[in-house]
Chains A and B, each alone.
Chain A
Amino acid sequence: MSRPRSAASKASALRRVWPNALAVVLFAGFVFPVYWMFATAFKPTGDIVAEDPVWFPVDFTFEHFRTAVTADNFWTLVRNSVTVTVLAVLFSLVIGLLAAFALARMRFRGRRGFIVAFMLAQMAPWEVMVIAIYLIVRDADMLNSLIPLTVFYMMMVLPFTLLTLRGFVGAIPKDLEESAMVDGCSRPQAFVKVILPLLAPGLMSTSLFGFITAWNEFPMVLILNKQAEAQTLPLWISKFQTVFGDDWGATMAASSLFAVPILLLFLFLQRKAVSGLTAGAVKG
Chain B
Amino acid sequence: MTAPRARTTALAPYLLLLPALAATLLLLGWPLVKNALLSFQNLNMRQLILHLTEWNGVANYTEVLGSSDFWRVTGRSILFTGANVVLIMVLGTLVGLLLARLGKRMRLTLLIGLVLAWAMPPIAAVTVYKWLFAQRYGVVNWVLDRLGFHSMADHNWLATQFSTFAVVTLLIVWQSIPFVAINLYAATTTIPKELYEAAALDGAGAWQSFTSVTVPFLRPFLYATTFLEVIWVFKAFTQVFAINEGGPDRLTEILPVYAYIEGFGNQHFGMGSAIALLTIVILLALTAYYLRIVLKQEEDEL
Contact = CB atoms under 8 A, between A and B. Distances in A.
Contacts of A194: none
Contact of A50 (B103, B137, B295): B137
Given A129-B35, A252-B127, A258-B124, A30 B27 contact: no
A114 B174 CA distance: 36
B213 to A, nearest CB: 20
B101 A19 contact: yes
Contacts of B269: 131, 135
A125 B280 contact: yes
Contacts of B14: 102, 108
Contact of A129 (B32, B130, B132): B32
Interface string B269-280: 100110010011
| Interface range for A | 35 or more
A140 B81 CA distance: 36
Given A129-B31, A216-B121, A155 B23 contact: yes
Interface SS majority for chain A: helix
Given A40-B131, A129-B276, A114 B38 contact: no
Nearest to B129: A33
Contacts of A119: 294-295, 298
Given A31-B113, A123-B231, A155-B24, A132 B16 contact: no
A56 B127 CA distance: 20
B270 to A, nearest CB: 9
Contacts of A185: none
Contacts of B279: 125, 128
Interface in A234-264: 234, 237-238, 240-241, 246, 248, 251-252, 254-256, 258-259, 262-263
Contacts of B16: 98-99, 101-102, 106
B36 to A, nearest CB: 9
A181 interface: no
Interface SS majority for chain B: helix
Interface string B102-123: 1100110110111111111111
Contacts of A114: 17, 21
Given A36-B128, A266-B118, A112 B20 contact: no
A155 B20 CA distance: 9
Contacts of B27: 151-152, 154-155
Nearest to A37: B128
Contact of A117 (B24, B124, B134): B24
Interface string A148-171: 000110110011001000000000
A237 B124 contact: yes
A130 interface: yes
Contacts of B123: 216, 218, 234, 237-238, 255, 258
B120 A99 contact: no
Q: Chain A CB within 10 Å — which of B31, B276, B283 has the most?
A: B31
A48 interface: yes
A30 B117 contact: yes
Contact of B132 (A26, A36, A123, A151): A36
Contact of B31 (A33, A52, A133, A218): A133
Interface in B3-54: 10, 12-14, 16-17, 19-21, 23-24, 27-28, 30-32, 34-35, 38, 43
A128 B235 contact: yes
A27 B99 CA distance: 11
Nearest to B182: A270
A218 B102 contact: no
B121 A258 contact: yes
Contacts of B128: 33-34, 36-37, 252, 255
Interface stretch (B59-67, B68-76, B195-203, B258-266): B258-266
Given A154-B23, A162-B20, A241-B130, A215 B121 contact: yes
Top 5 closest A-B pairs, CB basis? A266-B119, A132-B35, A102-B16, A99-B20, A155-B27
24 contacts: A22-B98, A28-B113, A33-B129, A36-B128, A36-B132, A53-B137, A116-B298, A119-B295, A124-B28, A125-B283, A127-B237, A128-B255, A128-B276, A128-B279, A135-B43, A151-B27, A154-B27, A159-B24, A219-B256, A223-B264, A241-B127, A254-B127, A255-B127, A267-B119
